[in-house]
């Protein structure tokens, strides 16, 4: 159905709501931008708590309570965006050639209050936590090492999360400012829901030459999710544990070990280092000869309990050897 619409000239297409496929509902696409920012806020907040807390506080921290707070921060804004989409959309959605379905939300005062203001709030909150993390790293490097050891957190993973927080603070606010201030060309005067939802079932379609000529959120949408995915992969997808899991999934774990001698996770979750079998890495060490005065056959358990010349009982010797 989408393919047939794209080859038609520019016009409004009126389709009953029951005919439109469910996968064309772009509420999830509309909420994905704030969802990504909310997930980044959860990471920034967690890293800030680790950086500014003491080991005793982390050990006594209620994990279930912290998980509930993280879920509330990460899920509440996207769910609110999905609910409020009906109040902001002028019609069902638009179809942009080369991009696909796109939210049909006019730039109005209601859009600023219900949509863009929350992006600013999330961006400012993330920036606050990122600044706290960087200041804590500068002041208390030794204490952070103790905190990471007490909380059983990988040091490399922690610094990767700090780098992600720095990327967020340098990209979120400038991007939102550009979308609100520089990328908007037409303002819709608010006239009420009756005017906004007039012929709500229609689907407007635009060729690539038309919508690409105007800078706006459509161009950013093309690369926003791809850019976020690349940043997450470069920071978290190239760790040693991630590489070992990739090799295990592809069935190359043994080859990976033989070539690199890297640390591989075992079935118990612990890490073990397996040495490679390269011939040039083998150390040829000669066995030391056993002195003639030392007997290699010691049967302490078969000896009766008696006093030796050194003043020790043979039972004491047995107990000592067992402890060794």
**CA dihedral in degrees (228, 234, 235, 237; nearest 10)?**
100
Question: What is the structure's pLDDT at 84?
Answer: 87
User: Could you count the other beta carbons within 10 Å of the beta carbon of residue 78?
Assistant: 21
What pLDDT was estimated at residue 75? Answer: 92
> Which tokens is 192 given?
């009420």
Q: Chunk the chain into consecutive blocks of 10 residues (it has 324) and report each block's average pLDDT, rounded to whole numbers.
A: 39 45 65 86 85 66 81 91 86 83 84 85 88 80 69 72 79 79 72 85 84 72 80 81 79 60 47 44 48 45 43 45 43
Distance CA(21)–CA(1), nearest Å, equals 9
Distance, CA of 244 to CA of 238 (rounded, Å): 10
Tell me how far apart the alpha carbons of residues 105 and 197 are, in angstroms, rounded to a whole number. 11
Contact present, 25 and 203 (Cβ < 8 Å): no
In the chain, where are the structural domains located? 12-238, 240-270
If DSSP codes are grouped into helix, strand and coil, which group holds residue 209? helix
Q: What is the pTM of this model?
A: 0.64
Instruction: Give SS3 for 243.
Output: helix
Helix segments in 178-308, DSSP class H:
193-196, 208-211, 217-236, 240-249, 253-260
Residue 21 burial by Cβ neighbours in a 10 Å radius (0-12, 13-18, 19+): exposed
């Amino acid at each position: 159905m989408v393919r047939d619409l794209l080859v038609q000239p520019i016009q409004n297409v009126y389709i009953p709501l029951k005919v439109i496929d469910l996968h064309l509902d772009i509420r999830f696409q509309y909420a994905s931008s704030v969802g990504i920012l909310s997930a980044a806020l959860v990471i920034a907040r967690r890293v800030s708590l680790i950086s500014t807390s003491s080991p005793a506080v982390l050990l006594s921290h209620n994990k279930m309570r912290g998980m509930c707070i993280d879920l509330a921060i990460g899920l509440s804004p996207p769910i609110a965006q999905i609910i409020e989409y009906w109040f902001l959309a002028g019609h069902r959605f638009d179809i942009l050639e080369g991009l696909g379905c796109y939210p049909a939300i006019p730039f109005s005062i209601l859009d600023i209050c219900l949509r863009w203001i929350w992006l600013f709030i999330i961006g400012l909150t993330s920036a606050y936590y990122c600044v706290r993390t960087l200041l804590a790293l500068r002041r208390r490097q030794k204490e952070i090492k103790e905190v990471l050891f007490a909380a059983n957190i990988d040091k490399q993973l922690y610094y990767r999360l700090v780098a992600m927080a720095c990327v967020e603070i340098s990209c979120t606010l400038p991007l939102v400012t550009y979308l609100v201030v520089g990328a908007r060309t037409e303002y819709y005067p608010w006239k009420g829901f009756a005017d906004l939802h007039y012929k709500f079932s229609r689907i407007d379609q635009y060729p690539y030459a038309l919508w690409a000529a105007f800078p706006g959120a459509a161009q950013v949408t093309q690369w926003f999710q791809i850019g976020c995915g690349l940043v997450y992969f470069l920071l978290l997808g190239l760790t040693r544990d991630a590489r070992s899991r990739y090799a295990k999934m592809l069935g190359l774990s043994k080859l990976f070990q033989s070539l690199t001698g890297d640390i591989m996770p075992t079935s118990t979750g612990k890490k073990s280092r397996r040495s490679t079998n390269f011939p040039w890495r083998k150390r040829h060490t000669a066995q030391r000869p056993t002195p003639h005065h030392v007997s290699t056959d010691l049967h302490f358990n078969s000896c009766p309990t008696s006093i030796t010349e050194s003043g020790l009982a043979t039972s004491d010797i047995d107990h000592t050897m067992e402890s060794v």
